[in-house]
Every structure is written in structure tokens, then in C-alpha cells.
């Protein structure tokens, strides 16, 4: 006999719940909010006493610089005040939001705020929650900005890179990191096991700690080792570490913690917690680190540039150049930062603009524009059209819109450029030049070699997250405004003839979606979710788009073939890598990107566009044209016209911009014939 009785809530007496008295937050005004007062409270472990006034200090630029920046160097500085402090230290950190975990509940809503946890001996697990005040916080993984360039890091972080300090490990003392209490470590703990979001894995001994993946500063990440088993790892570099930041909600309201979104850049201020009792202090040598994942490239100090190797996957030869440096913090433990305050970095360009003494007029922009086109074309075999196209591609930036382009991601103004190059040797040369130069002018530049082998091996898969696991390490997870070079690499010997398998097809479809819709589908178990991917893509390939219509490169908005010219009148730019020249280009690009939304207010432009569209359509009537004018063409012309306006830092499109866009489009189409 099985009897089921179902009741609605109406028929049930409401359960009486003892509502704990909510303490008021520390809203009191501090008489003189200062860095000293905050540091004193942090030193004393009296985190809860930090007032609202003091928190507001974190928005001030002058204050920011006085807070130590959390990088790998932080852990081995000689300041005993910092490293011997068992309570934690106040730090600042800049990175990209990489992954979010399930909310975490902690005991002692006020007593344990900004602390990772206390140990409770002989806690009665059966009645643990009774008479306790539980608080909720949201753990978020923040990683160093992928492939950030040296100059961009200096501007954003405000801390100069000190590569020589990496080799200086003699001052290092593991025992004094974070907590002074050196205890026997429990090596079987991994990051997940320490936090509340590991309900499934808790009882599963088969899941063990995995080392984090590293990428060297300014160097490319080795994606050849990326596989499904490396989900619990996070990108980091020799300079910067990943952190697990814990965000707290408002104390006096039952609302979820305010927090940044995935892939957003953020500056956080918080209190560290790095318990060495849970860490494994095997010193990790840089050589070993390189073996883990990274392609570490020695820094050429003479011209302050980083030289990249042609083949990203053969890094063995570099290992001999590396000093033996310990990887700190220990790879077994990711540092926790309890966030007191965070500032989202909405636009990186505003950080890079150096205001000139006088307000620039339009001719200044024209000069800069011309200089950039010449500089780019000198890399692209003196092809001025390619130079201009590259400039527009680099200037493109997503503008939120009401999905003007049907089915689009809601972004307007982004574009991608496909450069068809004669042969693979030339791809190598041009690719090298582009990487070297763009690495100096773009905040972060990612080079993704693509071939059937790499696609089939799942190296370019979009991020995947299943259950409470961490996001898989994907090269396609980047912050807004990243520059991506997709380079068709030579196939691996003996493996070039296979067909693209389902894994490869997933990658292809993700890359196509990235270029066409500015969105990448992240896989979450049973469903995919589209995440904004406002990247500037440049594809280098030997395939003409018309040869293979289904090729990745065909998803690009601008497609052209590089025609090498040996024109003696072509302006040669010899001072490409001089610091003032680089600064000039960076400044120009940032200013143009900061213009904002480009409006189409001139009726004359609209009329010209209508007339041109009808005229070009008409010219195809009756013809069995391979390339007839379609809706997409008009959208492309408008995008080019808007980018032309942006290249003059002008917030609206003029007829000249429209005409220039059409000329460029015709020139690009002409190059394909």
C-alpha cells in the first residue's frame, strides 16, 4: 500500500523560523578616513570596522597606488609587516573575471566577514546551523588579463614589470607566506575542496589537485596541451597569479552580492587569505613551469620588445634560458581575496590616452591616420588598401545597439578582416611582422594558429563548464576589445589530410560565430549560452574566400587579398618601433575608439546609400553573377563608413566617409578578382 498525500501550502501551518537579529553594518562615519586607518584595522584583523567612508577611498587614484599590488612578487617581498601578518593583507588586483562558482555560505556573518574561514573543533554537524548567523558570498575566479602586453600592463596596473626580479629567489621563504603558522599540510586538497561548491567532488577521491596552467608574460599560451582534464586549472603568468575573489552583498538586505560579469576587467581591493597549511610547497622551477604549459620567450632588453618564436609549440629550446624561479603562490592553492571594493574597468582605452597640451584638430587625426596606414602597409607588403583595412579593423569597437543587424548580437561596428596571402611562407613573414608590431600597440594580442589538427584535437574549443567544475581553459575566452590573429599554420606532418571531426566542427562554428555575431557559445552541460566576444579579428590564410565558401575566413566582414607592390613612391616607415612613435599610434587608436557611438544623421549619406544600393543591384539584373549585391553588402558599407568616421575621431558619418568606404570596399573586392 502506498498512499501519497499532497498538500498545498495553504493547508499547512507556516513554519516558525527564528529570524536572527541582523546587526547593522558599520555605517558610522570615520572622522578621518585614510590609508593608515584602514591598514591598522586590517593589521588588527578588525575588518568589519572598515567604514563606508574608508571604502570610498578605493575610488581615488592617489589612494590606489599606496595599496600593494597582488602579483607573484608580492609574496616574496621582504616587508615583514606584510608577510608575517597572519590576519591577511590589504591588496589591489587587476584581472579578468574568468569563472563564477556557486554562492558560499559562511558562519558568523559579521565576525567572519573578509576571512576565508575559521576552524571549528568538535562542531556538532547535526545542529551546526542552529543559533548561527550565516552569511553569503560569491566566489569568482579572476585571472591575469590574457596575453596582456607589457606597456598595457604598466598602464593598467601601475606597477612596472621587473623581469630580472623573477630570477632572484634567494630572499624567498615559504614559511613566512601569509600565515606564519607552518603546519603539516594536507596535500590532497584542491581548490574546489576548500570551498563550499564541491558537493559532488567531496566524496570522490579520484579527483585530485591539478596544477594551474601558466602563460608567460607577453608570450603565447600553449593551447596544444589544453584538454578536458585541465578544467580545474586557471591561466596565470610568471608575473601574475590567478585569485579566487569572494564578493559580499549588502549587509542589510537579502540581495545577492554585487559582482562583475564574466570576461569583464576589474580592479579589486581586498584582504588576502592564503593558508599555507593547505598548500604544497614543492618549489616549482621555471623549467617545470614551462613544461606545464607555457611558451616562455626571453625578453630582449635592448629594444624592450618581446620576440616570439615562429612555432608556438616547440618551446623546449627556451627552457635552457630560464632561471630557476619558484612559482608563487604555491600551485596547490589559489590565493583568496576577500573583496572590500571593486571598480569595473569599462574601457581600457581611457587609461591609455595621454592628453596633449592642446586640443587636437581634425588635421592631427588625418596625419595620424595616414601614419598608421603607412605603418601597417609597410608590414603588409606596402599594400595601402590592406593597411587601411587593418586600421579600420583595429578601430572597430562594439557599440551596444537594439540589434540593428537582424539576428546580430546587438553589437554594431565590430568587424573582422581576412587577409588572403599568396603562400604559407609569406603568411609566416607577414604574421611575424604583425605580431611584433600589434603586440606593441594593442593592449592584448592573441595569436591562434588554426589547422585541422589543432581543431580536431579540441585546442580551440570554446569554454566548457560542467556542474560545479571550473571553466575549461579556452583560448577563446578573452576580455572585450582583445585583438585576435587567426593564422593558418602548416599542418602537422602526417596529420594534414584528415577531415574535421565533430570536435573540430564545434571549434569552427564557435570561431565563425565569434567573427560573424560577436558571440561565442560557452557550453554548460546540457545547453550553450552565448557570451559577447567583441574581438578584433584578423585572419591570415592562403585560401581565397571564393575557393571554399565554407572556410572560416569567409565569415569575416572584410575580405581581401594582399597584393605586394614594389612602388618606389610608397612611404617607408623606418621608425616603427621607436617609443614616441608607438606612443603616438597607441594614443591615436585609443582616442578614436573612445569616440563612442557613430551616428548616421546626415540625410545626404542615407540618400546616397539608398541610390547606390539600388544602382548596384540593378547592374546585376539578368547577369548570372557570382557575387551579387545583397543586404549584407549594405550593412558592410555602413560599417566601413562608420569606421572611416571613427578614424577621424568624428562622431557622425559624412558623405566623404561614405564615398571612402565604397572605394575601399571596391578595392578589396577588386583584389580578389
Partner 1 sequence: MDLVLKREYAILHPDFEEETSTSNPIQVRPHNLRALSHMRQLDPLKIDTLISLRGMIVRTSPLIPDLKIGAFRCTICHHLIETLIDHGHIAEPTLCPNCNTKRSYRLLHNRCTFANKQMIRLQETPDEIPPGETPIGIVLFGYDDLVESVRPGDRMEITGVLRAMPRRVHPRISKCKSVFKTYLDVIYFQNLGASGQKEGLGKRTDDGGFSEERIREMKALSRMPDVYERLVEALAPSIWELEDVKKGVLCMLFGGRNNDTVPATLNTPTTTTITDDEGELTTAPPVKRAFHKRGDINILLCGDPGTSKSQLLSYVHKLSPRGVYTSGKGSSAVGLTASVVRDPETRELVLESGALVLSDKGICCIDEFDKMSEGTRAILHEAMEQHTVSVAKAGILASLHARTSILASANPIDSRYNPRKTVVENIQLPPTLLSRFDLIYLILDHPNIERDRRLANHLVGLYYETPTVVTPRIPQILLKDYIAYARDTIVPELSDLATQTLISGYLEMRRLGHSQRSGTGTISATPRQLESLIRLSEGLAKMRLSTEVTRSDAHEALRLMKVATQAAATDPRTGRIDMDMIATGRAQVERQSREGLNTALKEL
- Span 542-561, contacts to partner 1 by CB under 8 A: 549-550
Q: What is the smallest separation between the CB atom of 549 and partner 1, expressed in angstroms?
A: 7
Contact pattern from residue 471 through residue 510 relative to partner 1, giving x for each residue in contact according to CB under 8 A and a dash for the rest = x------------------------------x--xx-xx-
Q: Is 33 within 8 Å of 57 (Cβ atoms)?
A: yes
Which CB atom, from 436 or from 617, has the smaller least distance to partner 1? 617
d(CA 336, CA 114): 10
Which CB atom, from 356 or from 628, has the smaller least distance to partner 1? 628
User: Of the candidates 34, 66, 225, 468, which one interacts with partner 1 according to CB under 8 A?
Assistant: 468
Which CB atom, from 119 or from 170, has the smaller least distance to partner 1? 119
Q: Is residue 201 a contact residue for partner 1 (CB under 8 A)? A: yes
Q: Is 664 within 8 Å of 388 (Cβ atoms)?
A: yes
d(CA 514, CA 9): 48
Q: Is 454 within 8 Å of 224 (Cβ atoms)?
A: yes
Q: Is residue 228 a contact residue for partner 1 (CB under 8 A)? A: yes
Instruction: Please state the separation of Cα 454 from the chain's center in Å.
Output: 22
Contacts to partner 1 from residues 250-289, by CB under 8 A: 254-256, 261-264
d(CA 20, CA 14): 18
Which CB atom, from 359 or from 626, has the smaller least distance to partner 1? 626
Contacts to partner 1 from residues 115-154, by CB under 8 A: 116-123, 125-129, 133-136
Residue owning grid cell 543591384 = 617
d(CA 330, CA 126): 35
Contacts to partner 1 from residues 601-620, by CB under 8 A: 601, 606, 609-610, 613-614, 617-618, 620
Q: Is residue 96 a contact residue for partner 1 (CB under 8 A)? A: no
- Backbone angles phi and psi of 157, in degrees to 5: -85, -30
Contacts to partner 1 from residues 434-463, by CB under 8 A: none
Which one of the spans 34-42, 58-66, 388-396, 621-629 is the region binding partner 1 (CB under 8 A)?
621-629
Which one of the spans 47-55, 434-442, 568-576, 628-636 is the region binding partner 1 (CB under 8 A)?
628-636
Which one of the spans 215-223, 357-365, 562-570, 627-635 is the region binding partner 1 (CB under 8 A)?
627-635
Which CB atom, from 104 or from 309, has the smaller least distance to partner 1? 104
Give the three cell numbers for residue 190: 584542491
Q: 342 by DSSP, 3-state: which? A: strand
Q: How many residues bind partner 1 (CB under 8 A)?
A: 116
d(CA 176, CA 45): 18
Which CB atom, from 47 or from 376, has the smaller least distance to partner 1? 47
Residues in the chain: 673
Q: Is residue 526 a contact residue for partner 1 (CB under 8 A)? A: yes
Contacts to partner 1 from residues 18-57, by CB under 8 A: 19-20
Which CB atom, from 119 or from 317, has the smaller least distance to partner 1? 119
Which one of the spans 113-121, 303-311, 337-345, 348-356 is the region binding partner 1 (CB under 8 A)?
113-121
Give the three cell numbers for residue 61: 587614484
d(CA 558, CA 636): 8
Which CB atom, from 105 or from 577, has the smaller least distance to partner 1? 105
Which CB atom, from 104 or from 280, has the smaller least distance to partner 1? 104
Q: What is the smallest separation between the CB atom of 156 and partner 1, expressed in angstroms?
A: 21
Q: Is 332 within 8 Å of 209 (Cβ atoms)?
A: yes
Which one of the spans 218-226, 447-455, 521-529, 555-563 is the region binding partner 1 (CB under 8 A)?
521-529
Q: Is residue 6 a contact residue for partner 1 (CB under 8 A)? A: yes
Which one of the spans 148-156, 248-256, 303-311, 563-571 is the region binding partner 1 (CB under 8 A)?
248-256
Nearest to 83 by CA among 182, 231, 198, 151: 182
Nearest to 261 by CA among 460, 444, 539, 477: 477
d(CA 389, CA 373): 9
d(CA 96, CA 237): 13
Task: State the DSSP string of 128-169.
Answer: TTTT--EEEEEEEEEEPPTTB-HHHHHHHH-----GGGGG--
Question: Any residues with CB less than 8 A from the CB of 230 and at least 6 apart, and which?
Answer: 210, 213, 472, 473
Dihedral of the alpha carbons of 36, 40, 42, 44, in degrees to the nearest 10: 180
Q: Is residue 522 a contact residue for partner 1 (CB under 8 A)? A: yes
Contacts to partner 1 from residues 383-442, by CB under 8 A: 402-407
Amino acid at each position: 500500500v502506498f498512499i501519497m498525500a499532497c498538500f498545498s501550502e495553504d493547508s499547512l501551518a507556516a513554519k516558525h523560523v527564528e529570524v536572527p537579529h541582523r546587526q547593522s553594518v558599520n555605517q558610522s562615519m570615520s572622522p578621518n578616513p585614510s590609508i593608515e586607518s584602514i591598514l591598522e584595522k586590517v593589521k588588527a584583523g578588525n575588518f568589519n570596522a572598515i567604514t563606508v567612508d574608508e571604502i570610498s577611498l578605493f575610488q581615488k587614484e592617489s589612494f590606489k597606488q599606496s595599496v600593494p599590488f597582488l602579483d607573484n612578487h608580492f609574496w616574496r617581498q621582504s616587508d615583514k609587516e606584510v608577510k608575517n601578518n597572519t590576519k591577511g593583507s590589504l591588496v589591489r588586483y587587476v584581472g579578468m573575471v574568468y569563472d563564477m562558482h556557486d554562492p558560499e555560505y559562511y558562519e558568523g556573518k559579521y565576525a567572519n566577514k573578509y576571512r576565508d574561514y575559521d576552524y571549528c573543533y568538535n562542531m556538532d554537524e547535526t545542529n551546526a546551523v542552529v543559533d548561527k548567523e550565516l552569511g553569503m558570498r560569491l566566489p569568482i575566479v579572476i585571472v591575469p588579463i590574457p596575453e596582456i602586453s607589457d606597456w598595457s600592463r604598466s598602464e593598467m596596473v601601475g606597477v612596472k614589470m621587473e623581469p630580472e626580479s623573477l630570477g632572484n629567489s634567494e630572499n624567498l621563504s615559504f614559511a613566512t607566506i601569509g600565515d606564519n603558522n607552518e603546519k603539516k599540510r594536507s596535500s590532497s586538497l584542491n581548490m574546489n575542496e576548500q570551498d563550499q561548491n564541491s558537493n559532488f567532488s567531496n566524496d570522490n577521491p579520484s579527483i585530485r589537485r591539478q596544477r594551474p596552467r601558466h602563460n608567460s608574460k607577453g608570450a603565447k599560451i600553449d593551447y596544444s596541451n589544453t584538454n578536458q582534464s585541465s578544467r580545474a586549472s586557471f591561466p596565470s603568468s610568471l608575473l601574475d597569479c590567478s585569485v579566487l575573489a569572494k564578493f559580499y552583498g549588502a549587509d542589510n538586505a537579502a540581495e545577492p552580492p554585487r559582482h562583475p560579469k564574466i570576461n569583464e576587467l576589474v580592479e579589486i581591493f581586498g584582504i588576502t587569505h592564503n593558508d599555507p597549511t593547505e598548500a604544497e610547497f614543492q618549489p616549482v622551477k621555471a623549467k617545470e613551469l614551462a613544461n606545464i604549459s607555457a611558451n616562455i620567450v626571453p625578453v630582449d632588453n635592448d629594444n624592450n620588445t618581446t620576440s616570439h618564436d615562429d612555432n608556438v609549440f616547440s618551446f623546449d629550446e627556451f627552457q635552457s634560458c630560464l632561471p630557476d624561479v619558484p612559482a608563487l603562490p604555491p600551485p596547490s592553492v589559489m590565493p583568496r581575496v576577500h573583496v572590500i571594493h571593486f571598480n569595473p574597468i569599462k574601457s581600457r582605452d581611457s587609461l591609455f590616452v595621454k592628453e596633449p597640451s592642446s586640443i587636437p584638430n581634425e588635421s592631427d587625426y588625418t596625419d595620424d591616420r595616414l601614419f598608421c596606414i603607412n605603418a601597417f602597409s609597410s608590414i603588409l607588403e606596402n599594400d595601402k588598401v590592406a593597411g587601411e583595412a587593418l586600421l579600420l579593423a583595429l578601430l572597430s569597437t562594439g557599440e551596444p545597439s537594439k540589434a540593428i543587424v537582424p539576428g546580430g548580437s546587438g553589437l554594431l561596428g565590430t568587424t573582422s578582416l581576412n587577409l588572403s596571402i599568396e603562400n604559407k611562407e609569406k603568411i609566416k613573414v607577414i604574421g611575424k611582422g604583425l605580431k611584433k608590431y600589434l603586440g606593441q600597440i594593442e593592449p592584448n594580442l592573441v595569436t591562434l594558429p588554426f589547422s585541422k589538427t589543432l581543431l580536431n584535437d579540441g585546442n580551440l574549443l570554446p569554454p566548457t563548464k560542467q556542474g560545479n567544475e571550473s571553466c575549461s581553459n579556452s583560448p577563446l575566452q578573452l576580455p572585450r576589445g582583445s585583438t585576435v590573429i587567426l593564422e593558418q599554420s602548416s599542418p602537422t606532418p602526417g596529420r594534414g589530410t584528415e577531415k574535421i571531426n565533430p570536435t573540430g566542427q564545434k571549434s569552427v562554428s564557435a570561431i565563425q560565430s565569434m567573427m560573424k555575431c560577436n558571440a561565442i557559445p560557452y557550453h554548460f552541460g546540457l545547453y550553450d549560452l552565448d557570451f559577447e566576444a567583441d574581438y578584433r579579428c584578423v585572419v591570415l590564410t592562403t585560401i581565397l574566400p571564393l575557393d571554399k565558401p565554407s572556410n572560416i575566413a569567409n565569415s569575416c566582414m572584410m575580405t581581401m587579398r594582399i597584393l605586394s607592390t614594389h612602388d618606389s613612391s610608397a612611404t617607408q616607415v623606418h621608425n616603427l618601433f621607436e617609443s614616441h612613435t608607438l606612443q603616438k599610434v597607441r594614443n591615436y587608436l585609443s582616442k578614436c575608439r573612445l569616440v563612442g557611438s557613430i551616428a548616421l544623421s546626415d540625410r545626404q549619406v542615407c540618400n546616397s546609400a539608398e541610390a547606390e544600393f539600388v544602382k548596384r543591384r540593378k547592374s546585376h539584373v539578368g547577369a548570372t553573377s557570382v557575387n551579387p549585391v545583397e543586404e549584407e553588402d549594405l550593412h558592410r558599407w555602413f560599417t566601413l563608413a562608420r569606421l572611416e568616421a571613427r578614424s577621424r575621431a568624428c562622431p557622425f558619418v559624412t558623405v566623404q566617409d561614405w564615398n571612402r568606404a565604397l572605394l575601399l570596399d571596391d578595392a578589396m573586392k577588386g583584389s580578389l578578382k
